[in-house]
Structure 1
């Protein structure tokens, strides 16, 4: 079905992919795994004719015995979305934010069925069937991307990709930033659709453990080169390369030591209208609290309420002040004490500004007119997170996911906060960068002595990084305590169905 022979990609003198080769029969799954910057996404783009125009592709890509690597733009237009479907890595970036799901699905169908005119009723029926096929409801077609949960957006992307029954589906990190249950649902959905449509499936991921039950073949990439490939059973039972063994290893972290300190944050009966309600906890200076729950449980909403980015009721006492009672002017002066590292590294930067410009704007917004130490502060911020100062003059798209994550941490810490809130800090990172980020956070916290709130669906991360955890389900607090003492049925209760109305309500909220 799909074959790559000697596929390479060069950008100037830099070799980004080198001698990639594999063969994938119809109906089977190939998993391509590797760390950030290994070339996984670049390889997927080449397979759909979207290679960067300033680079050079060498080698052959055969689809049903036809070499498509040297195809014209017209040839690729006939293949993309029709014979080859692609599920992009970041749903919010891949979906048109000002169009409803119905419009995007209709466009995908009409573009590739020009010779087969469908009536309006036929088109509506086809769209409804597609939504049902991926586990959504027909009513979801009237929603915008921001009105859908993470799992629902991923399902919509899959529906668009299979709209024309492709023979090959390429899924780039299809379960990134989803909770464990939703991850399983998305992967099971892909496997079911593959069997239903007899598609070949290329699954790209940084998580080698994720592909054990879904792929027949595994290809391990490192710095654009294949370090190991073979059957899934062989890779997991007898990995030949040290790098593959490292990807299979579990995190070697120990639980943090107990903290004896005064509370820096007290929260009581915190609620955001019809999204979260009755949240109460305390956080000591230097203590780490993990917030756990399924997609749509209210984790990010809680963080935004703490930051006063959403209107909330209840009590928040932070650093001795009644946080919800502060005027806008007073709040602006205190913002530096509580900082937030957003989940989506690509969407958290202005793409037109260099890293230096982004860090400078944050620093001067809080320390107006203090330009005498600006350059040294920016260089120090980069060094603290283990990045070369030369990266200050790059744009966000020129950095890897792990580098952008470090810059976001640097941007938050440049203001010397007392509380740092991390929203899914390692979800989109490979195993190596995940360990590096955890080690970095632990080191910086020991040096700076700030408190942490870590939002994640990754229980392993929270167990390694946090003293206590707060478990949310459908906007309700169902548990609070240390990991060994959480209720035994905590996972089952927090692994609940996504609350669709919660995301719909978010659209009516105004940022304070």
Structure 2
């Protein structure tokens, strides 16, 4: 008598993927294999550019055949090849048997259609429902994924929902057809820690309720630990390690896997200078926006409510809170980029009383770095033009002097000056963030406002950027206002921490006080979502240029050509 052999629901066998570039092809995925069984969750992890999303899109053949080719391998679902299936067969599988949640819901959802219309389209196309019977089904699923007052949100457009709500709508859309396999491509990227935890818990519950398998794609190993049964680690288009969750976290075998597991923000903030004076003071800051326009009047909504912040020279003050808490709005108000009331004092000068013209000399002293380095850099400008733009406005330097200043600043942030004639799209995410840092620092500011500067970066790149910021702060005695929803980053960077909720500061104090003895329930809740307890460890003393060379040149201690190896040797 022979044992019954259970076949996998999905098998990817020796798959290779290449981009077509004229008559030539560029390999991006090389001979990868993995399987997913029924009711199983496989996590595909790795950094940006490792080939995770391309692999996921290839399962449903969503990539253009003119742009992509498959030199080898096959993708088999329920015993049938998808890679060689006709379009008619693929249409029956897409959405019905395999659904996909894409990375950015704001891009994936149609901004011109209401939530109800977009969900109804799925029910109409895949389940043949009519509008009158579909509405109750839509409300049921929206409530199931955690949308409050679902009936009243049917007429809402995507921009009227928060990031977490948009992601929940995408999940509802994906499970309306009761798929056998759900592909979730970075479904929690850029979401707050509390929302991330809720989305992961929701996926676990839906998997069990619907007897569904899950392919979970992410670079966040903390989420993988809570959700996955098995893990496949991708690096440069190859799967370098596969194992069950427990074994991989306890005894990783591959060198790159160890790098990923070691890539957590650590260390303490840069020591404060002695007798650090108050450099900037914000008192009773309020920001109101127009919520509704009526025939003869408008209704205003307060999104920052009497916020007060003090910044000492050389100090880092962190602001934490969920999306919509008012963190970024506070930063824009301090910069005088939006209207506000209250007092903003810089170096004993009241900025809130100055006109835009009189404020111009102070602009160079207070700079800001935005969350997404790609969208904040002009794609039509070269790196040299981007970094030197502020010099043209605030200084009288000649063109040659500006070029020399750019070269020196690029070296300081660990960029090769020979790349200054390239455009932003020719750089990685970490390099683009360094460009943004160089653009801000070239004016030699005293205060740098950092609005989620590492949230869109992989963990390994994030560590380098944080160490770079620490070294620059120590060297130039910079003052940081650091906005983030990543509490591990805040713990590593900040001397003082401010917690915001619904536009109000609900708690403020030293880093150790906030993390070790939080007073409000909201702060306790935020800290409870952290992956693991934080420990105080010495801040590594690194040199920016040696980090850059480790990132882009071979490390002498070990034969290697990528900066991830240098990270593990720290």
Q: How far apart are residue 490 of structure 1 and its match?
A: 4.3
Structure 1 residues 63 and 385: alpha-carbon distance in aligned structure 2, compared to 1, 3 A threshold: farther
Deviation, 1:393, is 5.0
Distance verdict in 2 for CA 1:123–1:379, change over 3 Å: farther
Over 3 Å counting, the alpha-carbon distance change for 1:362 and 1:287 in structure 2 is same
Cα displacement (A) at 1:216: 0.5
The corresponding residue for 2:53 is 41
Counterpart of 1:10? Answer: 18
Distance in 1, matches of 2:157 and 2:207, equals 27
Shift in Å, 1:376: 3.4
Whether the aligned pair in 2 keeps the contact of 1:181 and 1:495 (CA below 8 Å) is: no
Greater displacement, 13-22 / 379-388: 379-388
CA distance in 1, matches of 2:505, 2:320: 10
- C-alpha change, 1:45 and 1:118, in structure 2 (3 Å) is same
Q: Does 1:480 align with 2:490?
A: no
CA distance in 1, matches of 2:374, 2:207: 30
- Residue in structure 1 matching 2:481, options 438, 453, 472: 453
Deviation string 1:236-262 (CA, Å, 9 cap, x unpaired) is 122112322232234442332123322
Report what 1:233 is aligned to. Answer: 246
**CA deviation after TM superposition for structure 1 residue 359, in Å:** 4.0
- What is the correspondence of 1:49-198 to structure 2 with a 5 Å cutoff? 49-51=61-63, 53-58=66-71, 59-71=73-85, 75-113=89-127, 116-119=128-131, 121-137=132-148, 138=150, 139-198=152-211
**Partner residue of 1:442 out of 467, 470, 487:** 470
Change (3 A) 1:200 1:378: farther
Shift of 1:427: 2.3
Secondary structure at the aligned position of 2:234 is classed as strand
Distance 2:183 2:13 in 1: 18
Mapped partners of 2:360, 2:114: distance in 1: 35
Tell me if structure 2 keeps the 8 A contact 1:470–1:479. Answer: yes
Q: What are the equivalent positions in structure 2 for 1:211-250 lying under 5 Å apart?
A: 211-249=224-262, 250=264
Question: Could you tell me which of 257, 278, 284 is aligned with 1:263?
Answer: 278
Q: Secondary structure at the match of 2:95?
A: coil
Aligned match of 2:533: none
The alignment covers a number of residue pairs equal to 494
**Local SS of the residue matching 1:452:** strand
Partner deviation per Cα, 1:332-366 (whole Å, 9 max, x = no partner): 45333222222234433445555455445555455
Measure, in 2, the Cα distance between the counterparts of 1:432 and 1:165. 36
1:314 aligns with 2:322: no
Match for residue 500 of structure 1?
Answer: none
In 1, Cα distance between the equivalents of 2:210 and 2:391?
53
How far the C-alpha of 1:65 sits from its partner, in A, is 1.6
Deviation for aligned residue 1:231? 0.6
SS at match of 1:198: coil
8 Å CA contact 2:272–2:314 kept in 1: the answer is no
Residue 276 of structure 1 aligns to a residue in which SS?
strand
Cα distance, 1:402 vs structure 2? 2.4
Contact 2:270–2:474 (8 Å) recurs in 1: no
Q: Give the aligned partner of residue 3 of structure 2.
A: none
Deviation at 1:368, TM superposition (A): 7.8
Cα separation, partners in 2 of 1:243 and 1:447, compared to 1, 3 Å? same
The alpha-carbon distance between structure 1 residues 155 and 411, as it changes in their structure 2 partners (threshold 3 A), is: farther
Show the counterpart of 1:21. Answer: 33
Greater Cα offset, 153-162 or 229-238: 153-162
Aligned partner of residue 477 in structure 1, secondary structure: strand
Aligned residue in 2 for 1:501? none
Task: Note the residue ranges of structure 2 that are not aligned, 5 or more in a row.
Answer: 1-8, 289-301, 527-570
Inter-partner Cα distance in structure 2 for 1:419 and 1:436? 21
Are residue 466 (structure 1) and residue 477 (structure 2) matched?
no
Aligned residue among 411, 414, 425 for 1:386: 414
What secondary structure does 1:96 align onto?
Answer: coil
CA root-mean-square deviation: 2.7
* TM-aligned CA distance change 1:282 to 1:48, over 3 Å: same
User: Is the CA contact 2:115–2:157 (under 8 Å) kept in the aligned structure 1?
Assistant: yes
Residue-by-residue CA offset, 1:262-289 (whole Å, 9 max, x unaligned)? 2221011112232121211210122111
Change in CA separation of 1:380 and 1:80 when aligned onto 2, cut-off 3 Å:
farther
Name 1:504's counterpart in structure 2: none
- CA shift, 1:89, in A, is 1.9
Return the index of the structure with the highest Cα Rg.
2
Cα drift, residue 56 of structure 1: 2.6
In 2 relative to 1, CA 167–397 (structure 1 residues): closer, same or farther, beyond 3 Å? farther
Deviation, 1:23, is: 0.4
- What is the rounded CA distance, in whole Å, between the counterparts of 2:15 and 2:496 in structure 1? 49
Could you say if the C-alpha distance between residues 358 and 117 of structure 1 is closer, same or farther in structure 2, counting changes exceeding 3 Å? farther
Q: Is the 8 A contact 1:206 1:429 kept in 2?
A: no
Alignment TM-score, normalising by the size of structure 1: 0.88
| Contact 2:372/2:453 (8 A) holds in 1 | no
**Alpha-carbon offset, residue 200 of structure 1:** 1.5
5+ residue gaps, structure 1: 498-512
